[in-house]
Structure 1
Amino acid sequence: MTNNLMGGIIPQQPPIEAESDVHVVKSRLEWGEPAFTILDVRDRSIYNEGHIMGAMSMPIDELIDRAAISLEKSRDIYIYGTNDGQTAKAAEILRSAGFYHVSQLKGGLGAWKAIGGATEGIIESRTPAGADDYNVVSRIKNHVETQQK
């Protein structure tokens, strides 16, 4: 008899991809999956204005020093920046430092907001929900338009 009562019932999470769609992260959050971190590598002042709820601020110029002391190298890390170029640079920095489960969050905060992902921050708290936030058709249309840019 095994000591693991859930053995075989809860499947092992597959390794994360080098790039991830925001839907993947939102799904993991909604299922309450543990053991992953979302990193925002934008400047602290921009992070304070608004970011993905629960994301840790690690500005790109402090990334190696802060990640090395606060994160396990084997942890699943989803990372986003001001744009996809900054995100790719930050992911490469982490991978070069020995973090091997790093995934670039495609579209960053904009893509996250387009699918109704939870946000927090100074500006986010003052911004009322958009008129189309509860209209699934409009949200899908906005998401498709965002992905095409």
Structure 2
Amino acid sequence: MIPIPASLHSKSSAHDLKSRLDWGEPALTIIDVRDRSAFNACHIQGAISLTQAELVDRATANLEPMRDIYIYGATDEDTAEAASMLREAGYQNVAELTGGLAGWQANGFPIESTSAVIG
């Protein structure tokens, strides 16, 4: 039996997010704010791409303000800036994914990639 995950924190680890996804009813959105080419090359499985330039406009048009959001960028600083933008726009349930994609991959968690494997 998978334990009920902890509640959303302003800063979350890859393990926190994975636990929430494994629970089976995550009711959350994962946002990647890196540029599109980085997103297209590789991203957390299930993440959506919203660059920082379009983040608030697209989020307010598509996501309920009470939605749980996990967000990550190229660096923890980019992540913090994007999370701050969402919080200022009225989103209260925003978690900064510390370590971003690198932290996620270091744990061997699922990613989506358009990179071809040559071997």
Residue 71 of structure 2 is aligned to residue 79 of structure 1 = yes
Structure 1 moving runs of 4+ over 6 Å:
none
Where does the alignment leave 5 or more consecutive residues of structure 1 unmatched? 1-9, 129-149
Where does the alignment leave 5 or more consecutive residues of structure 2 unmatched? none
Amino acid at match of 1:67: A
Give me the TM-score of the superposition, normalised by structure 2.
0.91
Aligned residues with identical type, % of pairs: 49
Q: Counterpart of 1:94 in 2: which secondary structure?
A: helix
Counterpart contact for 1:44–1:59, Cα < 8 Å: yes
Residue 114 of structure 2 is aligned to residue 126 of structure 1 = no
Please report the RMSD computed on the Cα atoms of aligned residues, expressed in angstroms. 1.8
Which residue number in structure 2 is paired with residue 116 of structure 1? Answer: 108
Give distance in 2, aligned partners of 1:19 and 1:94. Answer: 14
Select the residue among 82, 100, 109 that pairs with 1:90. 82
More strand by share: 2
More helix by share: 1
Counterpart contact for 1:41–1:63, Cα < 8 Å: yes
Structure with the larger RCO, 1 or 2 (CA within 8 Å, 6+ apart): 2
Counterpart contact for 2:14–2:103, Cα < 8 Å: yes
Greater mean deviation of Cα atoms: 14-23 or 94-103: 14-23
Give distance in 2, aligned partners of 1:79 and 1:94. Answer: 10
Residues paired across the two proteins, number: 117
- Deviation string 1:61-119 (CA, Å, 9 cap, x unpaired) is 10011101111100110000000000000000000000000000000000000111100
Give me the TM-score of the superposition, normalised by structure 1.
0.73
Counterpart contact for 1:15–1:101, Cα < 8 Å: no
Give distance in 2, aligned partners of 1:86 and 1:77. Answer: 15
Which residue number in structure 2 is paired with residue 104 of structure 1? Answer: 96
Q: Counterpart of 2:71 in 1: which secondary structure?
A: strand
